[in-house]
Amino acid sequence: MKYRVGVIFGGESVEHEVSIITAIQAMNKMDEEKYEIVPIYITKNREWYTGDMLRDIDVYQDFNLIKNYSTNVVLYYKNGSYVLQSKKGLFKKTIKEIDIAFPIVHGTNVEDGVLQGYLQTIGIPYVGSNVYASVAGQDKAIMKDIWKSANLPMTKYVWFYDVDYREDSEAVIKKVNKLKYPVIVKPATTGSSVGISVCENNEKLKEGIDEAIQYDSKIIVEEVVENLKEVNIAVMGNYEHQKTSEIEEVLSGNKFLTYNDKYIGGGKGKLKGGFKIPTKASSKGMASANRKLPADLDKEMKEEIETIAKDAFKALGSSGNSRIDFLVDQDSQKVYINEINSIPGSLAFYLWEAKGEEFTKVLDDMIQIGIKDYKKRTSKTHSFETNILAGFASHGGIKGMKGAKGKLR
């Protein structure tokens, strides 16, 4: 019997289009001898749709095609099953049942624990990191604070809220000035290099903060590694076991890898109604970025990066397949961990293929880890067979509340 895998993608995120690219790449590589693939697309206004036509990237050039030829659904628990039920019509009918959810989403409102929280609330098994690791993996400030406590090597950083800057910008600037210029300013909880600036002085810093605040309420500022080599590695597993992929060196003419470097490359997306449509020429995702694979590293540095990556993955409690990005100072040959991508663009399949593991196997490993995580999670005690409300009622209950003028203490 095949597992019915609900592949969830899209969502209210600045990385919406990137998620479409990654999900379609993955759905086209899943083992259809083992899995029945059920596409579940979340629009930018949070409506859920399903239908086989959602596996075709050309569909996303006209949203009316989606509305007219796929089904608007909700996912919930019903009579012992997890079902996609139609939202329209007098008699709501079950469109599909699914056995496990596979979130292939990027960014705020989906990758950051929000979607994982919903899936865990209804009880469905799902692929990837749990709520806690997803939150930490998306919020760079929390991520770095956890890694700092684990003594992992990082560049110096500070973070603050937009309200802090609006109320006392000089205090924030003074805080940042404890770092050494140039610095890089980032929205703390977005991804794909959106809203990021490199700043050489206070004037540029203010411009960078103004830009980042457009995308996030929390801002992080880090020291720049000047003579930089940027390398990435993927980690597969959970808190018990981890394995690492090949290491790549990312090549860019910029001081950091831009959105265009990552996802557009030589192709040009079409802009339609404010929606960036990935054309076939630009739909390779992170696989299209310029890179040296494997990276030019000596054995000692390669092993150091592999060890730090596993430690970082475990410290966050990550699960599934994550990409971890590193910065190497080519002058000092010092390695700094930069950030984790809990659900990386293209699912970092090219890093595994470079080590001899086909994308189909990577997807299968991720699903199997998700099933094992679900079994572990459900084996733990989360509630007790007691009814404290019965005792509450016998001690005055509602009457007691009325006597206290309706206030719960």
| Residue range 136-171, pLDDT digits in tens | 999 999 999 999 999 999 999 999 999 999 999 999
Same domain, 230 and 313: yes
Token pair for residue 50? 């399903």
> Does residue 231 fall inside a structural domain?
yes
Same domain, 231 and 373: yes
d(CA 147, CA 153): 8
Answer yes or no: is 151 within a domain. Answer: no
Q: Domain for residue 91, yes or no?
A: yes
Contact assessment for residue 251 and residue 291, using Cβ atoms and an 8 Å cutoff:
yes
Could you give the CA distance from residue 162 to residue 306 in angstroms, rounded to a whole number? 35
258 Cβ contact list (under 8 Å, min separation 6): 193, 252
> Could you tell me the CATH number of the domain that includes residue 167?
3.30.1490.20
Q: Of 110, 126, 142, at which residue does a domain stop?
A: 126
Query: Do residues 347 and 234 both lie within one domain?
Result: yes
Same domain for 173 and 91: no
Q: What is the CATH number of the domain that holds 362?
A: 3.30.470.20
pLDDT of residue 272: 36
Could you tell me if 233 and 202 lie in one domain? no
Write down the pLDDT at residue 260: 52
Task: State yes or no: pLDDT of 273 exceeds 50.
Answer: no
Pairing of strands 81-86, 71-78: antiparallel
The model carries a pTM of 0.87
Report how many domains make up the chain.
3
- 134 within a domain of the structure (yes/no): no
- The residue that leads in pLDDT, 399 or 43, is 43
Residue matched to tokens 């079902």: 83
Q: Do 304 and 233 share a structural domain?
A: yes
The CATH number that applies at residue 73 is 3.40.50.20
Is 272 a domain residue?
Answer: no
Q: Is the pLDDT of residue 373 over 70?
A: yes
H/E run at residue 117? helix 114-122
Dist. CA 133–CA 32, nearest whole Å: 30
Residues 327 and 186 in one domain: no
Q: Which tops the pLDDT comparison, 404 or 378? A: 378
C-alpha separations of 162 from 188, 194, 212, 243, 327 in Å? 11, 17, 9, 38, 27
Are 230 and 366 contained in the same domain?
yes
Beta carbons of 306 and 231 less than 8 angstroms apart: no
Q: What is the pLDDT of residue 263?
A: 44
Domain annotation covers residue 176: yes
Residue 249 pLDDT greater than 60, yes or no: yes
Domain that holds residue 41: 3-126
Closest CA to 315 of 346, 343, 337: 337
Compute the distance between CA of residue 166 and CA of residue 123 in angstroms, rounded to an integer.
41
* Whether 62 and 192 share a structural domain: no
Does residue 268 belong to any structural domain of this protein? Answer: no
Residue 358 inside a domain? The answer is yes
Sorting pLDDT into bands at 50, 70 and 90, what band is 287? low
Determine the Cα–Cα distance for residues 2 and 208; give it in Å rounded to an integer: 50
Note whether 173 and 96 are same-domain residues.
no
- Of 81, 105, 126, which residue is a domain's last? 126
Final residue in a domain of this structure, among 126, 142, 177: 126
Q: How confident is the model at residue 281 (pLDDT cuts 50, 70, 90)?
A: very low
Torsion of CA 236, 241, 246, 251, to 10 degrees: 60
> 118 with 168, same domain?
no
Give the single-character DSSP code of 260.
Answer: I
At 275, is the pLDDT very low, low, confident or very high (cuts 50, 70, 90)?
A: very low
Alpha-carbon distance of 254 to 86, in angstroms, equals 47
Q: 54 and 8, same structural domain? A: yes
Which region among 14-28, 93-107, 155-169, 271-285 has the lowest average model confidence (pLDDT)?
A: 271-285
